[in-house]
Structure 1
């Protein structure tokens, strides 16, 4: 199935030269959204997964339904200050600044196998930070699953040893 037909590409957003891949058009089509999650499920089904972790916000719309489909738990990764319980945090660099991601200290149990899920793999900064958080909590990252991968940005290079699963790949 060509899921790219359901992705809206917006040129020069959020800045000139960027070709933004908008997944909201896929999410609006219930059948295609369901098919995409089911296809990701098939891609990762050979992994032993105890919990899926996903960074806000679009990691929630990929990770939570994937966790449901696999019958495993979901652990949200949020920006600093957004979680109500005790957290750990890791800072990371953005293109124009810095940010921090956080997880509850009890979100992952030591030794659990964790799949990280998000909508898009670009430069790998958010996902490598997510991997770091999971590992600090004692989790074993068994893979990372994405609807879209922007291969030209080489985000996989920031994920050594992590098996990457992508439903769609764009060169630009």
Structure 2
């Protein structure tokens, strides 16, 4: 079994959550099994080891889990991009549309410097709105987002295509049809 198949086999599908008709792709089984979690992180480490980003930026909240471990393994800084109202220092913010409504994320104004090369990571790409907002924040502060990354792609929602069409290189490990 390939690492991608192994990872996909450990993602749980929860039907009708958070609303009827939605097939929620739950990564928590990946995190609770140390062997699967290591395989997952190793896939990202191997991808970015030679790229040498300046930082890993993680999207609130599951992007924090993967992103912080990846940053540690690559010996680079970790940048949290949080939901509005969660950061204590001066921030910039970006609003976006979600599959189920709208939201706003923000980042500290000193989180990255002009010229920093950043990998932006989350657990899942649905509509692409969260990653697009995170990218805009990082670029507004002068960073270059060298790639967006996620464990899961939901291609039927067209988020990954939207991100690629915007010029963002994108890496996802597995995809699930249906949402």
**Structure-2-length-normalised TM-score:** 0.91
Q: CA deviation at 1:46?
A: 4.0
Q: 1:47 — aligned with what?
A: 51
SS in structure 1 of the partner of residue 121 of structure 2: strand
Maintained 8 Å contact 1:43/1:165: no
Unaligned runs of 5+ in 1: none
Q: 2:122 — aligned with what?
A: 118
Candidates 112, 128, 142, aligned match of 1:108 = 112
Instruction: Describe the superposition over 1:34-65 as per-residue Cα deviations: whole angstroms up to 9, x where unpaired.
Output: 11011112223343410011111101011111
Candidates 151, 155, 158, aligned match of 1:154 = 158
SS in structure 2 of the partner of residue 49 of structure 1: coil
Seen in structure 2, the aligned counterparts of structure 1 residues 96 and 8 have a Cα distance that, compared at 3 Å, is closer
- 59-68 vs 95-104, greater mean Cα deviation: 95-104
Unaligned runs of 5+ in 2: none
Q: 1:166 — aligned with what?
A: 172
Seen in structure 2, the aligned counterparts of structure 1 residues 155 and 95 have a Cα distance that, compared at 3 Å, is closer
Q: CA deviation at 1:13?
A: 0.9
Measured in 2, the distance between the counterparts of 1:145 and 1:46 equals 16
1:36 to 2:40 alignment: yes
RMSD: 1.2
Q: 1:15 — aligned with what?
A: 19
Candidates 81, 85, 97, aligned match of 1:81 = 85
Q: Which runs of 4+ in 1 moved over 4 A?
A: none
**Structure-1-length-normalised TM-score:** 0.95
Measured in 1, the distance between the counterparts of 2:35 and 2:50 equals 24
Q: CA deviation at 1:96?
A: 4.3
Q: 1:131 — aligned with what?
A: 135
Paired residue total: 172
Measured in 2, the distance between the counterparts of 1:97 and 1:13 equals 15
Q: CA deviation at 1:116?
A: 0.2
Seen in structure 2, the aligned counterparts of structure 1 residues 161 and 47 have a Cα distance that, compared at 3 Å, is farther
